[in-house]
Structure formats: structure tokens, C-alpha cells
Structure 1
């Protein structure tokens, strides 16, 4: 390396090449693989410390508690998503495959990625689009597993090309306008897919009225208890450490107690239970009665796979690549924002390259659901590894991050433990489906909080303008302009969900999602720069800074009573002796790019 290409550390802590001093992590380098090479230069000198920092004496306790906490927090949604995959794909893959995918993808990603603090798992959009892929295979009378193999391999190729050609830089055009709609889609998927099966029990003849009523009670119990316990730390009951413990494990407590309650009456009410084999084998049962092999034959399992099926897999593969691009990069942007005080720098292109080169082919060969960076567990991971100090400000006290244990070991060991959960299969079959639906519904409702699109939609229900929450844009803009902006977002969300639900159009909904950034650009002809600045955080896309995304306002807004305050407001953050809570931190108010507790 010449002196002109020497590596240096900038004021933000990012390691850069002096030959590209003005090029940030989300900018075009003008060279093939330029962004990828910069990511490698940024992270390679730190690779050794990425493994050792977790077990330094001052970091060991925080690392161990983080591993145990995130293991439970990531396992519950893996089970829930697995049950949804099993039902939606008619038994092609299920809970065991979802747990294996989460474990394997997480271990590969944490070992080689540029930002190993991101936690991988299933997301709502990926679940929905996998079901679209299944419908496409059924429509053309193709075996799903070989077809899914080719979809994943095409997606792998497209994802690698995106990373090599610096296309992560396009994220600078994605603003809160698109992010709020993306978050809204996730919320709707969880809410509707959570409650609809419970309602169907009452008008379908498959269940008795008593069984339908009992499943609904379990559903409501799971949702209600998880919601109550998630806010339990704010109550005066018990010791603070016990309140934090119950709040942090709210979903797990609700799931276990509801399952125990169901076990008492399961035989009398004929409850539907989670379908899991006691042995570690694929879920798919072949026509002959046996199970498929773990290694998928891309040219057919029970019949020959036609050659035309390979190019037929390209269109859904592009859709998967678009979804993966959005999910991965939006989560990475939130993890890497300067307010988190990370010092080792991001690796957007490297993260995407690892997904394309390692995790996607692994899932294709083994026939596993795809995993991608999930926002809530990723940010929870960051907060759990953060040491805070209290600063006195005019508005009150504020806990600010002073140190983050940036390393790979906790992420790797979290997914190792999730992999060990595969041997819990005999116990998983005692989980009622109604309980998992309650967890799914809870995820959707929890993700509504803090989404500024839904905050502004709730204003439609307030007829007396004097009763409006004191959001900063309400204080400065005519309410008609706020409603117009919200209505445009609402229409985009409705179109997006409609495209997903209609089988004939579902294959194109990722492309409409990607077009939201273009729609946002046209808003400059409807709204003034000041209005866009207040409603979206960006007056004009062309006027953004060199690294706009990490600098833009929080994707997840603060509570209504706090929105009008300055950036120096009091921020609830978990104490050092307690685990972080999703509800206590503004970043965790809702899931923006894919939800998982």
C-alpha cells in the first residue's frame, strides 16, 4: 500500500483509506468492489479484538448476560415463525428448519460480517414472500424445494452483485417516508396473520365452538400477559431487579404459562398443537411416506425438475434480493447510527456480501427459510452491550452511552445456543398454535408504537384540534398539510399490502416497496422544503449530506409527549445492572425492517 493509500481513522471512528478521504460507508466509490474493499480495510485490523473483547475482565459479565438474554429473545420468534412457515407452505419446512436457519445464518454472519452486532432471524416480509414463492411453484406444478433452491441461488447472485457494485449507497435516498411504510407493512402482517386464524375458527366447521372459544382465550391470555409484563418495570411492585427480569422475558413467560394452562385442558378441548417431529429431520413428508434428505437435489426430489423452472425462479429471486437489501441495510443503519457511540465502524457492503456468498447458499442447499438482520433484537443486542452514564441536562437526566462491547463472540454464541435448541424438539410439540398466534399478534401491536405514520393516522380520530398531541410538526404546520402527507403514505401502504395479498400481483410487491424512494422524490412538487423537513426529516433528497442516513432523525420516533423536545431530551435507557427493554428505548419503539422479539 502506498503512502497515498494509507489507512487512517476519521473523527467518527471509521477506518478509511486516504485515497478515498471523502467517501463514507454509504457512498459510491466508482470502482468495482470499491465499497467492499473499504469495508474489509475498515474491519480487518479489528478482527482479532472482535473475538477477544467480549471476555476481557471488565466485559465478561455484560457479555454473558447478553448471550443468555438474546438467546431466549431470539428463540421464541424462531419457533413462532417456524409454525407460520409450516402452515403456509403445506409442510415444506417448519419449526426445526427455522431454528436451524437462524442458528446457521447467525453463526456465519457473526463470524465474517462487517457489523457483527446485527442479529439475524426471520421477518414478516420474508415470511410473506416465501409464501408467494410457494404459490408460484404450485401454480406451475413444480416441486417447491428444488424451485426454492434455484430462487435462493439466483438471489445469492443478485445480492453479491449489489455488494460488489456499491449499490448499498442507494440507501441515502431512503428516508423516513419509506421506512414508516415499511414498518407499517410489518405491523399489518403480524396483526392480521395473528388474529385471522383465531376468527376463522368460529365460521369454519373444523373445530367445535368450545375448542374455538378456548383457543381464543389462550390467544388473548398470551397477548394480554405479554403486554402487561412488558410494561411491568414501570410499576411499583416487587424489587427493581425482579421487575426488569419479568419485563425482559415477558414473551417467554406468557408463552410458557399459556402452554401450561393449555396442557390441563388440551385433551378435553382438542387443541391444535405445534407440529414438530421428535427426531431431528426435515418436515417434508414425501409421497412414499419417508422424509426428504437434508441436502436438496436441485434437479428434483420425487420427479424431474424442468430446465425452464430455473429461469422461472429469477423474478421471485429479484424480489427476495430487494427485500433482503432493504431489511439488512435499514437495520444496519439503525445499529451504526452515531448516537450508539460505536467505534469500529460499519460494513454495509461486506454485510450484504456475506449474506449473498454464505448464508443464502447454505439455506438453499439445506432447504431452510431465509434469515436476515432483524431490527429489534439487533438494537437490543447493542443496548445490552452498552455502558451508560447519567448526564444532567436542563430537561432532566439523560443516560448516554460511553462504551459498547463491540465484538463477534456474543452474536456467535447466541446462535450456537439457538442451534442447541434443536434438541428440544420433543418439548416443542406441547406448544398450542393459539399461543403462538398470540405471540404473533403481540409483535404486531408492539410494533405500532412509535411509528410516526400510525401516530399521524391516529390524529384522524381526534375531531377537536385542541386535543392533538404536541408533535413538533403540528406546532409548525397547518393540520391539512399533515393529513395530506399521512394520506399519501396510507395509500402507499394500502397498495403495498394489497399487492402482497393478491396472488396474481404478490410477486411484484417488493418492487413497489423499492419504488417508495422514487415516490418520495415526487413529493417535492407537492410539499415545500420546510414541510418535508418537518414531516420526513429531509427537505430535498438531493441536498443530503455525504452520510445522510446515520445523521437523520431516529427512524423510530419518541413518545408523543416528548417529540417536541430537543435532541437533549431525557432518554430512558436500561440501567447497567438490568437488561434492556424494548419499550424503554426510543429506538425500540417499533420494528422498522423486520420484527422479532
Structure 2
């Protein structure tokens, strides 16, 4: 749990540091994670839930900073006011039980917003890659690498020729992977079901892990500053790519490039006419296009409309 929390915090902390010109960095993200996680683990009613910074929060932080810069506002005060108003609205929502309105937030809204996040993080990762490439294009260290030394440096030969011929189950790492795959698998018997006989809720895991996150502040600025920025860009790109898996909208977009005979045997493909499927997908693409226009626009007034557009996705659906 410690590594599952601290790694995204470092990644999103460096992203926020870049998007906010250092106003919110890794140190503040780790401190807020430690404080919020400890308070929730002690006083929260659901100890199995772990509070964690996510991609939408980083995106909203970037938008709030850009609005603050465009209107010459203090970002820290603006960000604090946004957080206080969010807390106020959450209290109002809980008092009037407005969570029941979430039934109108269908899968369509979640899929569109998920793909928007995919585009946002892919764009940031690609921009940083292009920036690093242009910055180090004429680097003497790159020019001095011959073909042989390049293979030695990147170990391309081992990756492309040796690894496919090695049985991973004979290595310690392969055995560990196999052990993880065996966990929680059904027994290999006919019609055998695994039944959960006991559930243990614990606050101790959350408390200890967030205490360790607080101690991780002692690792700043060193050795955490030695983590290369391209590693974090790769993490963002990985998050963007993995978000596509299980996204039904993305699966339906791929149907435009798939032969009809090769369509997957999904329930909506069997029951819904193909024309209606494509029409619904095109409608979602248009909504995503409008969302991207307002979300990536350099005009501050258009960015302020971005949360309203997300709310409008529900009645449009």
C-alpha cells in the first residue's frame, strides 16, 4: 500500500510542480497525502478506502492555475477557496442525500471524461518527450555512441533475442509472477466456487503506510530528485494507455476499423443494430471533441465553462 500511494504522489507531484511553476510540488503532495490519509484512516467510516491524488485532480489543478494567472489572482488563495467550497458543497450534498442523483451519471459520461483524461496525459507526455529530444538532439554523449556501444548501453540484443527463448518460470522473477497469478484463483475442479468466509477490516494498514509516507519527506530533495523526468512521463503515458482497457467507448470506436465478421461477441453488438451503435459512438465523439476544445483552449473564459460541460453530459445522455 505504501508503494501504491507514494509512486503516484511523486509522479503527480512533479506534474503539478511543472503545471503550477512550483506552487504545488512533491513535498506538498506527500504531506497532504500523509495528513489526509492518517485522518481518514482514524476517523473515516470506510477504512478499506485509501485517499489518493488522481489524474482528474492534477488536471483541475492545472486549469485553476491557468485561470489564476490569466486573471492575476493569487494561486494559493484561489486553490484554497476552491477546496473550501468543495468541502461546503460536499456537506450540503451529504445532508440532502444528493448522491442519489449519481444514477443519472451513466457510463457514457464516465467514458467521455476518461478518454479526455487519456488525451490530456498523452499530450503532456508527448510534449515533454519532444522537449527533451529537441534539447538533447545535438548532445555530444549521444553523437559519440557507436552502434556497438548503443547496443551495450540499451541491451537491445538481450531483449530481442535472448528473452523470447528463456522460460520465465525457471527464473526467480518468473516464479514470483506465477505465485501472484495463483493467488485468489479458483481451484481446477468442475463447478467449484471459492467462498469468502471472513473479512477483516483494519485501520492499521492505512495508518502505518501513511506514517511511512510522512517519513518519505526526509528523502526530499535527495534521493528522490534523482528520478529522471522521462520515467514519470512514461508513467503518465502508461496510465493513459491502461485507461483505454475496459472503456466501452474506445471499443466501439475500434469497430469502425474492424471487419464486421471480426466483431467481438458482446451483448450490445448482438442485440443493438449496428447503425445505432455507430450513431451513439459518433455522438460521444462529438461530445468528447467539444470537451477537448474547452479543456485545451488557451482562453481562460472557455476553461471556466469546462466543469459545466461535464455536468451537461448527463442530460445530453
Report the number of matched residues. 291
Residue aligning to 2:112: 181
Shift, 1:442, TM fit: 0.9
Q: SS of 2:226's equivalent?
A: coil
CA separation of 1:136/1:422 partners in 2, compared to 1, >3 Å: closer, same or farther?
same
Residue aligning to 2:54: 123
C-alpha separation between the residues in 1 aligned to 2:280 and 2:109? 12
Q: SS of 2:23's equivalent?
A: coil
CA separation of 1:410/1:389 partners in 2, compared to 1, >3 Å: closer, same or farther?
farther
Residue aligning to 1:190: 121
C-alpha separation between the residues in 2 aligned to 1:484 and 1:398? 41
Residue aligning to 1:136: 67
C-alpha separation between the residues in 1 aligned to 2:303 and 2:141? 31
Alignment of 1:380-419 (within 5 A): 390=187, 401-419=196-214
Alignment of 1:328-477 (within 5 A): 390=187, 401-425=196-220, 426-462=222-258, 464-477=259-272
Shift, 1:437, TM fit: 0.6
Residue aligning to 2:147: none
Shift, 1:208, TM fit: 4.0
Q: SS of 1:122's equivalent?
A: coil
Shift, 1:443, TM fit: 1.1
Corresponding residue to 1:210 among 139, 154, 179: 139
Residue aligning to 2:177: 243
Per-residue CA deviation, residues 87-129 of structure 1 (Å, 9 max, x unaligned), is 1001112111111121211112222223222221111121111
CA separation of 1:402/1:388 partners in 2, compared to 1, >3 Å: closer, same or farther?
farther
C-alpha separation between the residues in 2 aligned to 1:401 and 1:437? 40
Shift, 1:388, TM fit: 6.9
Shift, 1:465, TM fit: 0.9
Corresponding residue to 1:147 among 78, 89, 95: 78
C-alpha separation between the residues in 1 aligned to 2:33 and 2:89? 21
Using the TM superposition, name which of 168-177 and 145-154 deviates more: 145-154
1:479 and 2:281 equivalent? no
Residues 392 and 398 of structure 1 are in contact (CA less than 8 Å); yes or no, is this contact kept in structure 2? no
1:512 and 2:309 equivalent? yes
Per-residue CA deviation, residues 167-197 of structure 1 (Å, 9 max, x unaligned), is 1111122221222222222322222222221
**What is the TM-score of this pair, normalised by structure 2?**
0.81
Per-residue CA deviation, residues 224-268 of structure 1 (Å, 9 max, x unaligned), is xxxxxxxxxx964535642258x89xxxxxxxxxxxxxxxxxxxx
Residues 81 and 122 of structure 1 are in contact (CA less than 8 Å); yes or no, is this contact kept in structure 2? yes
Residues 110 and 116 of structure 1 are in contact (CA less than 8 Å); yes or no, is this contact kept in structure 2? yes
Residues 124 and 189 of structure 1 are in contact (CA less than 8 Å); yes or no, is this contact kept in structure 2? no
C-alpha separation between the residues in 2 aligned to 1:451 and 1:498? 21
Per-residue CA deviation, residues 305-341 of structure 1 (Å, 9 max, x unaligned), is xxxxxxxxxxxxxxxxxxxxxxxxxxxxxxxxxxxxx
C-alpha separation between the residues in 2 aligned to 1:75 and 1:123? 12
Residues 178 and 516 of structure 1 are in contact (CA less than 8 Å); yes or no, is this contact kept in structure 2? yes
1:79 and 2:2 equivalent? no
**What is the TM-score of this pair, normalised by structure 1?**
0.45
Q: SS of 2:288's equivalent?
A: helix
C-alpha separation between the residues in 2 aligned to 1:393 and 1:517? 44
C-alpha separation between the residues in 2 aligned to 1:244 and 1:73? 21
Shift, 1:494, TM fit: 2.1
Residues 169 and 175 of structure 2 are in contact (CA less than 8 Å); yes or no, is this contact kept in structure 1? no
- Higher strand fraction (1 or 2): 1
C-alpha separation between the residues in 2 aligned to 1:192 and 1:453? 20
Residue aligning to 1:497: 292
Per-residue CA deviation, residues 401-440 of structure 1 (Å, 9 max, x unaligned), is 5543323222232222222211111111111111111111
Per-residue CA deviation, residues 19-45 of structure 1 (Å, 9 max, x unaligned), is xxxxxxxxxxxxxxxxxxxxxxxxxxx
Residues 391 and 398 of structure 1 are in contact (CA less than 8 Å); yes or no, is this contact kept in structure 2? no
Residues 389 and 402 of structure 1 are in contact (CA less than 8 Å); yes or no, is this contact kept in structure 2? no
CA separation of 1:472/1:210 partners in 2, compared to 1, >3 Å: closer, same or farther?
farther
Residues 388 and 403 of structure 1 are in contact (CA less than 8 Å); yes or no, is this contact kept in structure 2? no
Misfit runs of 4+, over 4 Å:
211-214, 234-237, 387-394, 397-402
Unaligned runs of 5+ in 1: 1-69, 222-233, 249-383, 521-597
C-alpha separation between the residues in 2 aligned to 1:243 and 1:137? 47
Q: SS of 1:101's equivalent?
A: helix
Residues 389 and 401 of structure 1 are in contact (CA less than 8 Å); yes or no, is this contact kept in structure 2? no
Residues 202 and 209 of structure 1 are in contact (CA less than 8 Å); yes or no, is this contact kept in structure 2? no
CA separation of 1:196/1:149 partners in 2, compared to 1, >3 Å: closer, same or farther?
same
Residues 17 and 25 of structure 2 are in contact (CA less than 8 Å); yes or no, is this contact kept in structure 1? yes
